[in-house]
Amino acid sequence: MATYKELKGIMLQKLSSDPPAVVTGDIWYNTSTGTLKAGVLAGTWASGPTFPTITKSTGQGCGTATAALSFGGNPQLTVSAVYNGSSWTTNPGLNVGRHSAAGFGISTAGVAVGGDQIPSTRQITSTESFNGSTWTEETASPYANSCAGGFGTNAAGAVVGGFTPPGFALTGTTIEYASGTWTAGGAISPSLVCMGSIGTQTAGMAISGYNGPNENTSRVTTVSDYNGTAWTTNPVSLTQARNGMGSVGTQALALVYGGRFNSPPNPSVINGFTESWDGSAWSTTGELNIPRDYPGRAGTTNTSALSWGGNPGPLTTTTETFSMAAGAQTITTS
């Protein structure tokens, strides 16, 4: 059998402890633990600035990890705030209070669509846009919805699936948005609710969620891609079925975190389990410090994200930020 030096032309490092500054791609043998180690990219969640108010589950968000917009929450909250990378600042808020809205856009041009108003109207059609300082009523959504997926921008966004009247019927409807104007898009099948949703109007993704009357028996791992016209099933599924998770990124680089899971295999229904998508495979990475379902979400890739609100029980104002950095990982034969 060839030695590492014969294969690579260099000797394998023998260190008594892992190096203080790990470099991605480095390999060494830790003599203290008797393990072979490698430097790999690993994701971690860290506590961030306090959110201005306790926002129960199903608030919504959009934007980037350093320029985010939050709006709504349970019950029918109008609260809205902007994050600048270091702190949150509240604004006048939504005109129509809601939770479980679909959201897309950026912190200075965000859109809130539909949502739920407990205990009265439930699914609504109200659509509002944010210009960086105030919310304005726009043309109503063509269908009343809550817990639908939203992705894209103010100039080219989309909403898919969710609950719709009467009651909490599931729908596969997709509608596309362009600066106040709605048009029909391609339907998704089967119908989904409370899924992850990321990407652009012409390159979107719907991730996991559930497709039946009971979330605990109908969660799926399915991932579907949207090309601006039609949905197709991605051949690679999410590792664990979940709904009510945070989701950010693109068809090429995405991150999903938190949510509600089947138990077993998970020890609790709500947890901080995080998965990263690199365009070809899903992999597990650092977990949220506070398990959450239906958190606010913002981010554009699988290397940075923002999470706030949600239902961690007890409720919290703690914001969490996700980042990728090199870390030591033990190499095994499995």
Is 8 within the bounds of a domain? no
Dihedral class, residue 109 (left if φ above 0, else alpha if ψ from -120 to 50, else beta): beta
Is 7 within the bounds of a domain? no
pLDDT of residue 182: 98
pLDDT of residue 120: 78
Residue-wise pLDDT tens for the chain (334 aa)? 565 454 455 567 888 888 888 787 788 888 989 899 887 778 999 999 999 987 776 789 999 999 999 999 988 899 999 999 999 999 999 999 999 999 999 999 999 999 999 877 899 999 999 999 999 999 999 999 999 999 999 999 999 999 999 889 999 999 999 999 999 999 999 999 999 999 999 999 999 999 999 999 999 999 999 999 999 999 999 999 999 999 999 999 999 999 999 988 888 899 999 999 999 999 999 999 999 999 999 999 999 999 999 988 778 899 999 998 777 778 876 5
pLDDT of residue 18: 86
In CATH, what number is assigned to the domain containing residue 274?
2.120.10.80
Rounded Cα distance between 230 and 168, Å, is 25
Instruction: Say how many CA atoms lie within 13 Å of 6 toward its Cβ.
Output: 3
pLDDT of residue 75: 84
Domain that holds residue 136: 46-324
Query: What is the value of pTM for the model shown?
Result: 0.88
Is 149 within the bounds of a domain? yes
Is 330 within the bounds of a domain? no
Q: Do residues 223 and 236 touch, judged by C-beta distance below 8 A?
A: yes
pLDDT of residue 10: 55
Q: Do residues 65 and 305 touch, judged by C-beta distance below 8 A?
A: yes
Give the single-character DSSP code of 288: P
pLDDT of residue 265: 82
Count CB atoms within 10 A of the CB of residue 51: 21
pLDDT of residue 3: 54
Is 41 within the bounds of a domain? no
Residues 6+ apart with CB under 8 A from 93: 71, 78, 79, 80, 135
Domain count, the chain: 1
In this structure, the chain runs to a length of 334
Rounded Cα distance between 246 and 194, Å, is 10
Between the alpha carbon of residue 180 and those of residues 61, 70, 93, 136, 305, the distances in Å are: 19, 20, 19, 11, 28
Is 238 within the bounds of a domain? yes
